[in-house]
Chain A
Amino acid sequence: MKPAADSAPRRGAEIVDKAQHPLREMVVIFLANRAAMVASIVLSIVVLAAIFGPMLHPVDPFEMVWAPFTPPGQDGFVLGTDYLGRDMLAALLNGGRVSLTIGLVAALMSVFIGISFGALAGFYRGLVEEVLMRITEFFQVLPTLLFSMVIVALFGASLEVVTIAIGVVSWTAVARITRAEFLRIRELEYVTASRAAGASNVTLMTRVILPNALPPIIVQAALMVGSAILFEAGLAFLGLSDPNVVSWGQIIGSNRPYILDAGFTVTIPGLAIFVTVLSISLIGDGLNDALNPKLRAR
Chain B
Amino acid sequence: MTNSPSTAPLLDVRNLSVQFTTRGGTVTVLDDISFTLERGERISFVGESGCGKSMTALALMGLLPAMGRVSGGQVLFKGEDLTTASPARLRRLRGNEISMIFQEPMTSLNPVFTIGQQISEVLRLHRGVDNAEARDRSVELLQAVRIPDAAARVDDYPHQLSGGQRQRVMIAIALACEPEILIADEPTTALDVTVQAEIFALLRDLGAKLDTAIILITHDMGAVAQMSERMLVMYAGRRVEEGQVANVIKAPAHPYTRGLIACVPHITSDVGALVDTLPEIDGIVPPITRFGRDECLFAPRCAKAADECWSAKPQQSDIAGHSSHSVSCWHPFGTEGSR
Contact = CB atoms under 8 A, between A and B. Distances in A.
Contacts of A298: none
Contacts of B282: 10-11
- State the main secondary structure of chain B at its contact with A: helix
Contact of B310 (A1, A9, A10, A11): A1
8 contacts: A1-B311, A3-B300, A9-B284, A9-B301, A10-B282, A10-B283, A11-B280, A14-B284
A18 interface: no
Interface of A: 1-3, 8-11, 14
Contacts, number: 19
Interface string B247-280: 0000000000000000000000000000000001
Contacts of A1: 295, 310-311
A15 to B, nearest CB: 10
Interface in B55-88: none
A268 B282 CA distance: 69
A2 B283 contact: no
B307 interface: yes
Contacts of B280: 11
Contacts of A2: 299, 307, 310
Most chain A CB within 10 A, of B283, B307, B311, is at B283
Contacts of B300: 3, 8-9
Most chain B CB within 10 A, of A2, A8, A10, A14, is at A2
Contacts of B307: 2
The 8 tightest CB contacts between A and B, nearest first, are A2-B310, A9-B283, A11-B282, A8-B300, A9-B300, A1-B310, A9-B284, A11-B283
A248 B280 CA distance: 70
A24 to B, nearest CB: 14
Given A1-B295, A2-B310, 17 more contacts: A1-B310, A1-B311, A2-B299, A2-B307, A3-B300, A8-B283, A8-B300, A9-B283, A9-B284, A9-B300, A9-B301, A10-B282, A10-B283, A11-B280, A11-B282, A11-B283, A14-B284
B309 to A, nearest CB: 8
Nearest to B283: A9
B245 to A, nearest CB: 30
Contacts of A14: 284
B153 to A, nearest CB: 31
Nearest to B282: A11
A11 B280 CA distance: 9
Contacts of A11: 280, 282-283
A197 B295 CA distance: 46
A178 B299 CA distance: 49
A231 B257 CA distance: 67
A183 to B, nearest CB: 20
A1 B301 CA distance: 15
Contacts of A10: 282-283
Contacts of B284: 9, 14
A5 to B, nearest CB: 11
Contacts of B283: 8-11
Contacts of B299: 2
B195 to A, nearest CB: 25
A295 to B, nearest CB: 17
A9 B282 CA distance: 9
Contacts of A8: 283, 300
B51 to A, nearest CB: 17
A14 B285 CA distance: 11
A113 to B, nearest CB: 37
Nearest to A32: B23
A147 to B, nearest CB: 40
A294 to B, nearest CB: 12
A9 B284 CA distance: 8
Nearest to A14: B284
A263 B19 CA distance: 59
B305 to A, nearest CB: 8
A59 to B, nearest CB: 50
A11 B259 CA distance: 15
A32 to B, nearest CB: 8
Contacts of B310: 1-2
A2 B300 CA distance: 9
B64 to A, nearest CB: 20
Contacts of A9: 283-284, 300-301
Contacts of B311: 1
A286 to B, nearest CB: 16
A3 B300 CA distance: 9
Nearest to A9: B283
Interface in B137-153: none
